[in-house]
A = this chain, B = another copy of it.
């Protein structure tokens, strides 16, 4: 059986209060006593029962992170930022399984308040659910998603601005026709990027042409297929703004296979600056955002919400920048 505080007290011949003070580094006991207790605790391999501790202290000491899949390459740096910052704040970070729908660990941990705060990168929770669990005691930070409610904070990147800038650059480099490779309709990112694209057309008085909007789904494979299709139809695009980099990868592959020279015959800008984007031939120009910093920011907002009494921003928008490589 696991030793309890009682066992340590008995073995060290002190009261359980003293053990508690020793373990928690209180300065109310003498150095000598503390060392003695700590020694005994170590000998018994004692560690405090967290359930008892948390019950007493009314805090959990953990932040939950929720993503659709535990394995999406995009998030890697973002999560690193989150991990480091949460650790720095002295909290634990746990990710909960979403398997099982409304009965999933993720749902239970949110409902049962098994965490002190949540960071969400997932659309597996609907807005109503999030609203029902968010509170001052369990604030939620949602990334790349707009959820307007008390105790829910949104951190977004400037999708609109990034798309606007990318499209603008394509147009101002002389392209009168800019194709837009589109992500899924229900993607928040895609919507905003499309808006930015349209706004840039408007800015330059270029007429919006629905035929230039290529419906795809954010995957390399589908974009590759769509691009090949277009090329086969005989009128290859001169300029493309791709709503994400993965699709841009597929576009490059199709272009290369068909002898279309980039950037001479086709200019291309992606979005996200994923790792692979600098390794393509030619290297992909793209819109970047600081993922690591986004993670850090998310944690900062979360802890302000947990601790501070003052109003904090409900929505934070992080800037984007164009990184010019060889496709434009």
Which A residues fall within an 8 A CB radius of B? Answer: 2, 45, 47-52, 54-55, 60, 62, 69-73, 75-76, 79-80, 83-84, 86-87, 92-97, 99-100, 103-105, 108-109, 111-114, 132, 137
Contacts and interface: CB of A to CB of B under 8 A. Distances in A.
A72 B76 CA distance: 10
A114 B86 CA distance: 18
Given A94-B105, A100-B87, A52 B55 contact: yes
Contact of A70 (B71, B96, B108, B111): B71
Given A71-B72, A71-B73, A76-B69, A50 B114 contact: yes
Contact of A104 (B55, B72, B87, B137): B87
Contacts of A95: 70, 94-97
Q: How many copies does the complex hold?
A: 2
11 contacts: A47-B113, A49-B55, A50-B51, A51-B52, A70-B70, A70-B76, A71-B71, A83-B97, A93-B97, A94-B96, A95-B96
DSSP majority for the A interface?
mixed
A47 B111 contact: yes
B108 A92 contact: yes
A48 B83 contact: no
B62 A71 contact: no
Q: Which of A71, A104, A109 has the most CB of B within 10 A?
A: A71
Contacts of A70: 70-71, 75-76, 79, 95
Nearest to A93: B97
A48 B84 CA distance: 31
Contacts of A80: 99
A188 to B, nearest CB: 21
Contacts of A132: 45
Contact of A2 (B69, B72, B93, B137): B137
Contacts of A111: 47
Nearest first, the 3 closest Cβ-Cβ pairs linking A and B are: A83-B99, A92-B105, A93-B97
Given A47-B112, A93-B97, 9 more contacts: A45-B132, A50-B112, A50-B113, A83-B97, A84-B99, A87-B100, A94-B95, A95-B95, A95-B97
Contacts of A103: 87
B96 A92 contact: yes
A132 B42 CA distance: 12
